[in-house]
Structure 1
Amino acid sequence: MPLITIIGAGPGLGLEIARTFGRKGFDVALVARDQTKLDALAQTLADEGVHARGFTADVSQPETVVSALRSIKDELGPIDVLEFSPADPTLTPVDVLKVTMENLQPQIDFYLGGALSAVGAVLPDMIAAGTGTVLITTGGGSINPTPFLGNVNIAAAGLRNWALNLHDALRDHGVYVAHVGIRALIGGGHPDAEPSVIATAYGTLYDERREPELHYVAYDG
Protein backbone atom coordinates (compact mmCIF):
# COMPACT_ATOMS: atom_id res chain seq x y z
CA MET A 1 0.00 0.00 0.00
CA PRO A 2 1.26 3.55 -0.70
CA LEU A 3 1.54 5.75 2.36
CA ILE A 4 0.54 9.37 2.99
CA THR A 5 1.82 11.21 6.05
CA ILE A 6 -0.14 14.25 7.21
CA ILE A 7 1.75 16.74 9.40
CA GLY A 8 -0.70 18.71 11.52
CA ALA A 9 -3.53 16.18 11.28
CA GLY A 10 -6.81 17.21 12.88
CA PRO A 11 -10.54 16.47 12.68
CA GLY A 12 -11.16 18.96 9.88
CA LEU A 13 -9.08 19.23 6.71
CA GLY A 14 -6.46 16.72 7.84
CA LEU A 15 -9.04 14.00 8.36
CA GLU A 16 -10.65 14.72 5.01
CA ILE A 17 -7.30 14.58 3.20
CA ALA A 18 -6.73 11.23 4.89
CA ARG A 19 -10.13 10.04 3.66
CA THR A 20 -9.45 11.29 0.14
CA PHE A 21 -6.20 9.38 -0.10
CA GLY A 22 -7.60 6.40 1.79
CA ARG A 23 -10.15 6.01 -0.99
CA LYS A 24 -7.23 5.87 -3.40
CA GLY A 25 -5.83 2.88 -1.52
CA PHE A 26 -3.36 4.72 0.73
CA ASP A 27 -2.40 3.85 4.26
CA VAL A 28 -2.28 6.95 6.47
CA ALA A 29 0.17 8.22 9.08
CA LEU A 30 -1.22 11.08 11.16
CA VAL A 31 1.18 13.44 12.93
CA ALA A 32 0.17 15.94 15.62
CA ARG A 33 0.83 16.71 19.28
CA ASP A 34 -1.96 14.81 21.05
CA GLN A 35 -1.81 11.02 20.89
CA THR A 36 -5.34 10.60 22.26
CA LYS A 37 -6.79 12.73 19.49
CA LEU A 38 -4.64 10.97 16.91
CA ASP A 39 -5.88 7.59 18.11
CA ALA A 40 -9.48 8.80 17.76
CA LEU A 41 -8.85 9.96 14.19
CA ALA A 42 -7.11 6.69 13.35
CA GLN A 43 -10.06 4.74 14.71
CA THR A 44 -12.50 6.82 12.67
CA LEU A 45 -10.54 6.00 9.55
CA ALA A 46 -10.23 2.33 10.52
CA ASP A 47 -14.01 2.15 10.86
CA GLU A 48 -14.17 3.36 7.25
CA GLY A 49 -11.70 0.74 6.05
CA VAL A 50 -8.59 2.94 5.98
CA HIS A 51 -5.48 1.70 7.76
CA ALA A 52 -4.19 4.63 9.83
CA ARG A 53 -1.87 5.25 12.77
CA GLY A 54 -0.99 8.31 14.81
CA PHE A 55 2.51 9.52 15.68
CA THR A 56 3.13 12.40 18.06
CA ALA A 57 5.35 15.34 17.20
CA ASP A 58 5.41 19.08 17.80
CA VAL A 59 6.26 21.19 14.76
CA SER A 60 7.72 23.84 17.07
CA GLN A 61 10.28 21.20 18.10
CA PRO A 62 11.73 20.04 14.75
CA GLU A 63 13.63 17.14 16.25
CA THR A 64 10.31 15.53 17.26
CA VAL A 65 9.04 15.77 13.68
CA VAL A 66 12.19 14.14 12.32
CA SER A 67 11.89 11.41 14.95
CA ALA A 68 8.23 10.78 14.12
CA LEU A 69 8.98 10.52 10.41
CA ARG A 70 11.77 8.08 11.15
CA SER A 71 9.36 5.95 13.17
CA ILE A 72 6.78 6.07 10.40
CA LYS A 73 9.29 4.85 7.84
CA ASP A 74 10.56 2.12 10.16
CA GLU A 75 7.08 0.88 11.08
CA LEU A 76 4.96 1.55 8.00
CA GLY A 77 7.43 1.80 5.14
CA PRO A 78 8.40 4.50 2.65
CA ILE A 79 6.44 7.75 2.62
CA ASP A 80 4.94 8.29 -0.82
CA VAL A 81 3.09 11.53 -0.06
CA LEU A 82 3.87 14.12 2.61
CA GLU A 83 1.24 16.75 3.34
CA PHE A 84 2.25 19.65 5.59
CA SER A 85 -0.52 21.78 7.13
CA PRO A 86 0.09 22.39 10.84
CA ALA A 87 -1.42 25.26 12.79
CA ASP A 88 -0.58 26.72 16.18
CA PRO A 89 -3.34 28.90 17.68
CA THR A 90 -0.96 30.11 20.39
CA LEU A 91 1.02 32.08 17.81
CA THR A 92 -0.50 35.55 17.79
CA PRO A 93 -1.05 37.30 14.44
CA VAL A 94 -0.32 41.03 14.36
CA ASP A 95 -1.15 43.86 11.99
CA VAL A 96 1.41 44.67 9.33
CA LEU A 97 2.23 47.97 11.05
CA LYS A 98 3.06 46.15 14.26
CA VAL A 99 5.37 43.46 12.91
CA THR A 100 8.65 43.15 14.80
CA MET A 101 11.35 40.51 14.76
CA GLU A 102 10.04 39.39 18.16
CA ASN A 103 6.56 38.54 16.84
CA LEU A 104 7.76 37.44 13.39
CA GLN A 105 10.44 34.93 14.37
CA PRO A 106 8.06 32.42 16.05
CA GLN A 107 5.95 32.34 12.88
CA ILE A 108 9.02 31.71 10.73
CA ASP A 109 10.32 29.04 13.11
CA PHE A 110 6.99 27.21 13.18
CA TYR A 111 5.86 27.30 9.58
CA LEU A 112 9.03 27.61 7.54
CA GLY A 113 11.30 25.90 10.05
CA GLY A 114 8.81 23.10 10.58
CA ALA A 115 8.49 22.50 6.85
CA LEU A 116 12.24 22.54 6.33
CA SER A 117 12.58 19.80 8.95
CA ALA A 118 9.65 17.68 7.76
CA VAL A 119 10.28 17.90 4.04
CA GLY A 120 14.02 17.61 4.51
CA ALA A 121 13.48 14.29 6.29
CA VAL A 122 11.65 12.70 3.34
CA LEU A 123 13.20 14.25 0.24
CA PRO A 124 16.39 12.16 0.14
CA ASP A 125 14.36 8.94 0.01
CA MET A 126 12.01 10.34 -2.63
CA ILE A 127 14.88 11.55 -4.80
CA ALA A 128 16.63 8.21 -4.49
CA ALA A 129 13.42 6.39 -5.47
CA GLY A 130 12.73 8.80 -8.32
CA THR A 131 9.17 9.36 -7.15
CA GLY A 132 7.18 11.05 -4.40
CA THR A 133 4.81 13.91 -3.68
CA VAL A 134 5.01 16.82 -1.22
CA LEU A 135 1.96 19.05 -0.70
CA ILE A 136 2.57 22.19 1.38
CA THR A 137 -0.40 24.16 2.71
CA THR A 138 -0.59 27.78 3.81
CA GLY A 139 -3.32 30.36 4.19
CA GLY A 140 -4.23 32.42 1.17
CA GLY A 141 -2.32 35.38 2.60
CA SER A 142 0.86 33.80 1.27
CA ILE A 143 -0.39 34.84 -2.19
CA ASN A 144 -2.71 37.78 -1.45
CA PRO A 145 -1.57 39.33 1.85
CA THR A 146 -4.04 40.55 4.43
CA PRO A 147 -2.80 43.39 6.69
CA PHE A 148 -4.14 42.00 9.97
CA LEU A 149 -2.03 38.86 9.48
CA GLY A 150 1.17 40.78 8.84
CA ASN A 151 3.61 38.44 10.57
CA VAL A 152 1.84 35.24 9.52
CA ASN A 153 1.83 36.33 5.86
CA ILE A 154 5.59 36.87 5.85
CA ALA A 155 6.27 33.35 7.11
CA ALA A 156 3.66 31.83 4.79
CA ALA A 157 5.01 33.70 1.77
CA GLY A 158 8.49 32.40 2.51
CA LEU A 159 7.13 28.86 2.72
CA ARG A 160 5.27 29.31 -0.55
CA ASN A 161 8.41 30.62 -2.25
CA TRP A 162 10.39 27.61 -1.08
CA ALA A 163 7.68 25.18 -2.23
CA LEU A 164 7.61 26.70 -5.71
CA ASN A 165 11.39 26.53 -5.93
CA LEU A 166 11.28 22.88 -4.86
CA HIS A 167 8.72 22.19 -7.59
CA ASP A 168 11.10 23.50 -10.23
CA ALA A 169 14.19 21.86 -8.75
CA LEU A 170 12.70 18.40 -8.24
CA ARG A 171 10.43 17.72 -11.21
CA ASP A 172 13.32 16.26 -13.22
CA HIS A 173 13.97 13.91 -10.29
CA GLY A 174 10.44 12.49 -10.42
CA VAL A 175 9.37 14.26 -7.20
CA TYR A 176 6.27 16.45 -7.36
CA VAL A 177 5.96 19.42 -5.00
CA ALA A 178 2.97 21.75 -4.90
CA HIS A 179 1.80 24.61 -2.72
CA VAL A 180 -1.85 25.00 -1.69
CA GLY A 181 -2.89 28.48 -0.53
CA ILE A 182 -6.32 28.32 1.07
CA ARG A 183 -8.24 31.59 1.17
CA ALA A 184 -11.29 30.32 2.98
CA LEU A 185 -12.85 30.04 6.40
CA ILE A 186 -12.72 26.26 6.46
CA GLY A 187 -16.09 24.90 7.55
CA GLY A 188 -17.46 28.43 7.76
CA GLY A 189 -20.64 27.92 5.77
CA HIS A 190 -19.71 28.26 2.11
CA PRO A 191 -20.17 24.89 0.37
CA ASP A 192 -16.75 25.13 -1.27
CA ALA A 193 -15.14 25.80 2.12
CA GLU A 194 -16.16 22.44 3.57
CA PRO A 195 -13.08 20.33 4.45
CA SER A 196 -14.34 17.39 2.40
CA VAL A 197 -14.61 19.59 -0.69
CA ILE A 198 -11.20 21.21 -0.23
CA ALA A 199 -9.59 17.81 0.30
CA THR A 200 -10.66 16.65 -3.15
CA ALA A 201 -8.40 19.34 -4.62
CA TYR A 202 -5.42 17.66 -2.97
CA GLY A 203 -6.37 14.39 -4.61
CA THR A 204 -6.56 16.13 -7.98
CA LEU A 205 -3.13 17.70 -7.56
CA TYR A 206 -1.70 14.29 -6.71
CA ASP A 207 -3.39 12.60 -9.67
CA GLU A 208 -2.38 15.20 -12.24
CA ARG A 209 1.08 16.06 -10.85
CA ARG A 210 1.39 19.17 -13.02
CA GLU A 211 0.57 22.43 -11.32
CA PRO A 212 3.06 23.97 -8.88
CA GLU A 213 0.31 25.74 -6.99
CA LEU A 214 -3.38 25.87 -6.21
CA HIS A 215 -4.94 29.05 -4.88
CA TYR A 216 -8.13 27.73 -3.32
CA VAL A 217 -10.62 30.55 -2.80
CA ALA A 218 -13.95 30.26 -0.98
CA TYR A 219 -15.73 32.44 1.50
CA ASP A 220 -17.96 31.78 4.45
CA GLY A 221 -21.69 32.04 3.97
Structure 2
Amino acid sequence: MTATVINSSEISMTTFAIIGAGRGLGATVARRFASEGFEIALVSRSAERVESLAADLRAEGVSARGYVADVRDVASIARTLDEVTAQQGPIEVLQYSPLPDKSFLRPVLETTPADTAAAVEFSVYGPMAAVHQVLQGMRVIGRGTVLFVNGGSAVKPGAHVAGTSIAFAGQSAYAQMMHETLAPEDIHVAQLIIPGAIEEGSAEKDPDVLAEKLWTIHAERGEFRTYAASMEGED
Protein backbone atom coordinates (compact mmCIF):
# COMPACT_ATOMS: atom_id res chain seq x y z
CA MET A 1 0.00 0.00 0.00
CA THR A 2 1.26 3.50 -0.86
CA ALA A 3 1.44 5.75 2.19
CA THR A 4 0.00 9.25 2.28
CA VAL A 5 2.65 11.75 1.16
CA ILE A 6 3.51 14.26 3.89
CA ASN A 7 4.77 17.75 3.09
CA SER A 8 6.67 19.14 6.08
CA SER A 9 5.75 22.72 5.13
CA GLU A 10 2.05 21.91 5.52
CA ILE A 11 2.21 20.32 8.98
CA SER A 12 0.14 22.19 11.56
CA MET A 13 -0.49 19.43 14.09
CA THR A 14 0.65 15.91 14.84
CA THR A 15 -1.09 12.82 16.11
CA PHE A 16 -0.76 10.34 18.95
CA ALA A 17 -2.00 6.93 17.74
CA ILE A 18 -2.79 4.09 20.14
CA ILE A 19 -3.03 0.58 18.72
CA GLY A 20 -5.06 -1.43 21.21
CA ALA A 21 -7.01 1.52 22.61
CA GLY A 22 -9.44 0.73 25.41
CA ARG A 23 -11.17 2.42 28.30
CA GLY A 24 -8.42 1.67 30.81
CA LEU A 25 -4.86 2.75 30.24
CA GLY A 26 -5.45 3.66 26.59
CA ALA A 27 -8.09 6.28 27.38
CA THR A 28 -6.00 7.72 30.20
CA VAL A 29 -2.89 8.04 28.03
CA ALA A 30 -5.02 9.61 25.28
CA ARG A 31 -6.16 12.30 27.70
CA ARG A 32 -2.59 12.94 28.84
CA PHE A 33 -1.22 13.39 25.32
CA ALA A 34 -4.27 15.42 24.26
CA SER A 35 -3.51 17.84 27.10
CA GLU A 36 -0.20 18.52 25.32
CA GLY A 37 -1.93 19.40 22.05
CA PHE A 38 -1.91 16.09 20.18
CA GLU A 39 -4.66 14.85 17.93
CA ILE A 40 -5.72 11.41 19.19
CA ALA A 41 -6.23 8.34 16.98
CA LEU A 42 -7.71 5.30 18.71
CA VAL A 43 -7.18 1.99 16.92
CA SER A 44 -8.99 -1.20 17.91
CA ARG A 45 -10.41 -4.34 16.37
CA SER A 46 -13.93 -3.45 17.56
CA ALA A 47 -15.56 -0.59 15.66
CA GLU A 48 -18.38 -0.26 18.19
CA ARG A 49 -16.07 0.02 21.18
CA VAL A 50 -13.53 2.36 19.65
CA GLU A 51 -16.17 4.69 18.22
CA SER A 52 -17.90 4.84 21.61
CA LEU A 53 -14.62 5.65 23.34
CA ALA A 54 -13.78 8.33 20.78
CA ALA A 55 -17.21 9.91 21.25
CA ASP A 56 -16.78 10.00 25.04
CA LEU A 57 -13.35 11.62 24.71
CA ARG A 58 -14.71 14.21 22.29
CA ALA A 59 -17.40 15.02 24.85
CA GLU A 60 -14.53 15.85 27.24
CA GLY A 61 -12.98 18.19 24.68
CA VAL A 62 -10.39 15.76 23.29
CA SER A 63 -9.86 15.79 19.53
CA ALA A 64 -10.18 12.02 19.03
CA ARG A 65 -11.24 9.66 16.26
CA GLY A 66 -11.72 5.91 16.24
CA TYR A 67 -10.31 3.54 13.64
CA VAL A 68 -10.53 -0.21 13.07
CA ALA A 69 -7.63 -2.58 12.41
CA ASP A 70 -6.74 -6.16 13.26
CA VAL A 71 -3.12 -6.35 14.43
CA ARG A 72 -2.83 -9.87 12.98
CA ASP A 73 -3.65 -8.44 9.53
CA VAL A 74 -0.65 -6.33 8.54
CA ALA A 75 -2.47 -4.89 5.52
CA SER A 76 -5.23 -3.55 7.75
CA ILE A 77 -2.66 -1.89 10.02
CA ALA A 78 -1.00 -0.15 7.09
CA ARG A 79 -4.33 0.92 5.63
CA THR A 80 -5.64 2.27 8.94
CA LEU A 81 -2.50 4.19 9.89
CA ASP A 82 -2.46 5.74 6.43
CA GLU A 83 -6.07 6.80 7.00
CA VAL A 84 -5.09 8.34 10.36
CA THR A 85 -2.35 10.37 8.67
CA ALA A 86 -4.67 11.55 5.91
CA GLN A 87 -7.42 12.63 8.35
CA GLN A 88 -5.52 13.87 11.41
CA GLY A 89 -1.98 14.65 10.36
CA PRO A 90 1.33 12.81 10.67
CA ILE A 91 1.74 10.36 13.54
CA GLU A 92 4.45 11.73 15.83
CA VAL A 93 3.82 9.22 18.64
CA LEU A 94 2.71 5.61 18.19
CA GLN A 95 1.79 3.42 21.15
CA TYR A 96 1.50 -0.34 20.60
CA SER A 97 -0.36 -1.90 23.52
CA PRO A 98 -3.11 -4.34 22.48
CA LEU A 99 -3.99 -6.95 25.09
CA PRO A 100 -2.88 -10.46 24.06
CA ASP A 101 -5.59 -13.00 23.34
CA LYS A 102 -6.24 -15.50 26.13
CA SER A 103 -5.30 -18.32 23.76
CA PHE A 104 -1.68 -17.08 23.93
CA LEU A 105 -1.56 -17.53 27.69
CA ARG A 106 -1.38 -21.31 27.94
CA PRO A 107 1.26 -23.26 29.89
CA VAL A 108 4.33 -24.14 27.89
CA LEU A 109 3.54 -27.88 27.69
CA GLU A 110 0.10 -27.09 26.25
CA THR A 111 1.30 -24.48 23.75
CA THR A 112 1.25 -25.60 20.12
CA PRO A 113 3.08 -24.21 17.08
CA ALA A 114 -0.23 -22.71 15.94
CA ASP A 115 -0.62 -20.89 19.26
CA THR A 116 2.89 -19.51 18.94
CA ALA A 117 2.39 -18.44 15.32
CA ALA A 118 -0.71 -16.46 16.30
CA ALA A 119 1.13 -14.79 19.18
CA VAL A 120 4.03 -13.84 16.89
CA GLU A 121 1.61 -12.34 14.35
CA PHE A 122 0.09 -10.30 17.18
CA SER A 123 3.26 -9.18 18.97
CA VAL A 124 5.96 -9.16 16.26
CA TYR A 125 4.48 -8.82 12.78
CA GLY A 126 1.83 -6.34 13.96
CA PRO A 127 4.22 -3.84 15.53
CA MET A 128 6.71 -4.21 12.68
CA ALA A 129 3.98 -3.30 10.20
CA ALA A 130 2.88 -0.35 12.33
CA VAL A 131 6.36 1.09 12.77
CA HIS A 132 7.12 0.65 9.07
CA GLN A 133 3.98 2.60 8.20
CA VAL A 134 4.64 5.60 10.48
CA LEU A 135 8.41 5.88 10.04
CA GLN A 136 8.36 7.93 6.85
CA GLY A 137 6.12 10.55 8.47
CA MET A 138 8.33 10.76 11.55
CA ARG A 139 11.36 11.29 9.35
CA VAL A 140 9.63 14.10 7.48
CA ILE A 141 8.75 16.01 10.64
CA GLY A 142 12.17 15.26 12.08
CA ARG A 143 11.09 13.53 15.29
CA GLY A 144 8.96 10.70 16.62
CA THR A 145 8.33 8.25 19.43
CA VAL A 146 7.25 4.63 19.42
CA LEU A 147 6.03 3.31 22.78
CA PHE A 148 5.71 -0.40 23.47
CA VAL A 149 3.73 -1.36 26.59
CA ASN A 150 4.35 -4.90 27.81
CA GLY A 151 3.80 -7.14 30.80
CA GLY A 152 6.58 -8.66 32.85
CA SER A 153 6.83 -11.74 30.61
CA ALA A 154 8.55 -9.54 28.01
CA VAL A 155 11.68 -9.58 30.16
CA LYS A 156 11.11 -12.61 32.40
CA PRO A 157 9.40 -15.44 30.49
CA GLY A 158 6.70 -17.29 32.36
CA ALA A 159 6.01 -20.97 31.65
CA HIS A 160 2.32 -20.35 32.39
CA VAL A 161 2.05 -17.78 29.56
CA ALA A 162 4.31 -19.40 26.99
CA GLY A 163 2.95 -17.97 23.74
CA THR A 164 3.10 -14.38 24.94
CA SER A 165 6.51 -14.90 26.56
CA ILE A 166 7.95 -16.16 23.27
CA ALA A 167 6.34 -13.44 21.17
CA PHE A 168 7.12 -10.61 23.62
CA ALA A 169 10.78 -11.67 23.53
CA GLY A 170 10.75 -11.14 19.77
CA GLN A 171 8.98 -7.81 20.11
CA SER A 172 11.49 -6.66 22.73
CA ALA A 173 14.42 -7.60 20.50
CA TYR A 174 12.90 -5.76 17.54
CA ALA A 175 12.09 -2.68 19.62
CA GLN A 176 15.55 -2.49 21.15
CA MET A 177 17.21 -2.76 17.74
CA MET A 178 14.98 0.03 16.47
CA HIS A 179 15.82 2.12 19.55
CA GLU A 180 19.52 1.88 18.77
CA THR A 181 19.14 2.37 15.03
CA LEU A 182 16.75 5.35 15.04
CA ALA A 183 18.16 7.36 17.95
CA PRO A 184 20.43 9.46 15.67
CA GLU A 185 17.29 10.59 13.79
CA ASP A 186 15.57 11.77 17.01
CA ILE A 187 13.08 8.91 16.73
CA HIS A 188 12.82 7.40 20.19
CA VAL A 189 11.71 3.78 20.53
CA ALA A 190 11.02 2.74 24.12
CA GLN A 191 9.38 0.02 26.17
CA LEU A 192 7.39 0.32 29.39
CA ILE A 193 7.20 -2.89 31.41
CA ILE A 194 4.18 -3.19 33.71
CA PRO A 195 4.62 -6.23 35.98
CA GLY A 196 1.29 -7.76 37.00
CA ALA A 197 -2.03 -5.98 36.66
CA ILE A 198 -2.78 -2.28 36.29
CA GLU A 199 -4.26 -1.18 39.64
CA GLU A 200 -6.37 1.91 40.26
CA GLY A 201 -5.10 3.74 43.32
CA SER A 202 -1.65 2.14 43.14
CA ALA A 203 1.30 4.47 43.60
CA GLU A 204 3.08 2.73 40.71
CA LYS A 205 0.46 1.13 38.47
CA ASP A 206 -2.57 3.41 38.56
CA PRO A 207 -3.58 4.40 34.99
CA ASP A 208 -2.87 8.09 35.66
CA VAL A 209 0.59 7.24 37.01
CA LEU A 210 1.35 5.05 34.00
CA ALA A 211 0.08 7.70 31.57
CA GLU A 212 2.39 10.26 33.14
CA LYS A 213 5.27 7.80 32.91
CA LEU A 214 4.58 7.27 29.20
CA TRP A 215 4.51 11.02 28.64
CA THR A 216 7.84 11.33 30.46
CA ILE A 217 9.36 8.56 28.34
CA HIS A 218 8.30 10.46 25.22
CA ALA A 219 9.41 13.88 26.48
CA GLU A 220 12.73 12.96 28.09
CA ARG A 221 13.84 10.38 25.49
CA GLY A 222 16.07 8.37 27.79
CA GLU A 223 16.84 4.65 27.97
CA PHE A 224 15.09 1.96 25.98
CA ARG A 225 13.37 0.17 28.88
CA THR A 226 11.47 1.57 31.86
CA TYR A 227 9.87 -0.47 34.64
CA ALA A 228 6.60 0.72 36.15
CA ALA A 229 7.29 -1.34 39.26
CA SER A 230 9.78 -3.86 40.60
CA MET A 231 9.90 -7.25 38.91
CA GLU A 232 10.49 -8.96 42.28
CA GLY A 233 8.12 -11.87 42.71
CA GLU A 234 7.27 -12.11 39.00
CA ASP A 235 7.41 -15.64 37.59
TM-score by length of 1: 0.92
Partners in 1 of 2:92 and 2:75 — Cα distance?
21
Q: Name the residue aligned to 2:5.
A: none
Select 2:107's aligned residue among 95, 99, 109.
95
Deviations, residues 30-63 of structure 1 (Å, cap 9, x unaligned): 0001222112211222222210000111112111
Q: Name the residue aligned to 1:176.
A: 188
Q: Name the residue aligned to 2:90.
A: 78
How many angstroms does 1:91 deviate by? 2.7
Contact 1:184 / 1:217 at 8 angstroms: preserved in 2?
Answer: no
Q: Name the residue aligned to 1:114.
A: 126
The answer to whether structure 1 residue 133 and structure 2 residue 135 are counterparts is no
C-alpha RMSD of the superposition: 1.8
Q: Name the residue aligned to 1:49.
A: 61
Select 2:22's aligned residue among 3, 7, 10.
10
Identity %: 34
How many angstroms does 1:210 deviate by? 1.4
Count of matched residue pairs:
219
Deviations, residues 79-125 of structure 1 (Å, cap 9, x unaligned): 11000011243533122334432221110011111101111101122
Partners in 1 of 2:100 and 2:163 — Cα distance?
14
What is the identity, as a one-letter code, of the residue corresponding to 1:51? Answer: S
Q: Structure 1, unaligned stretches of length 5 or more?
A: none
Partners in 2 of 1:67 and 1:204 — Cα distance?
30
Partners in 1 of 2:196 and 2:105 — Cα distance?
17
Name segments (4+ residues, structure 1) moved above 6 Å.
none
Aligned pair in 2 of structure 1 residues 99, 33: CA closer, same or farther (>3 Å)?
A: closer
Partners in 1 of 2:189 and 2:105 — Cα distance?
27
Helix, strand or coil: the match of 1:170?
helix
Q: Name the residue aligned to 1:145.
A: 157
The answer to whether structure 1 residue 154 and structure 2 residue 166 are counterparts is yes
Partners in 2 of 1:218 and 1:11 — Cα distance?
25
Q: Name the residue aligned to 2:81.
A: 69
Contact 2:40 / 2:64 at 8 angstroms: preserved in 1?
Answer: yes
Contact 2:138 / 2:144 at 8 angstroms: preserved in 1?
Answer: yes
Q: Name the residue aligned to 2:70.
A: 58
What is the identity, as a one-letter code, of the residue corresponding to 1:124? Answer: Q
What is the identity, as a one-letter code, of the residue corresponding to 1:203? Answer: W
What is the identity, as a one-letter code, of the residue corresponding to 1:202? Answer: L
TM-score by length of 2: 0.87
Select 1:167's aligned residue among 171, 179, 183.
179
What is the identity, as a one-letter code, of the residue corresponding to 2:151? Answer: G
What is the identity, as a one-letter code, of the residue corresponding to 1:122? Answer: V
Partners in 1 of 2:229 and 2:103 — Cα distance?
24
Q: Structure 2, unaligned stretches of length 5 or more?
A: 1-12
Contact 1:184 / 1:193 at 8 angstroms: preserved in 2?
Answer: no
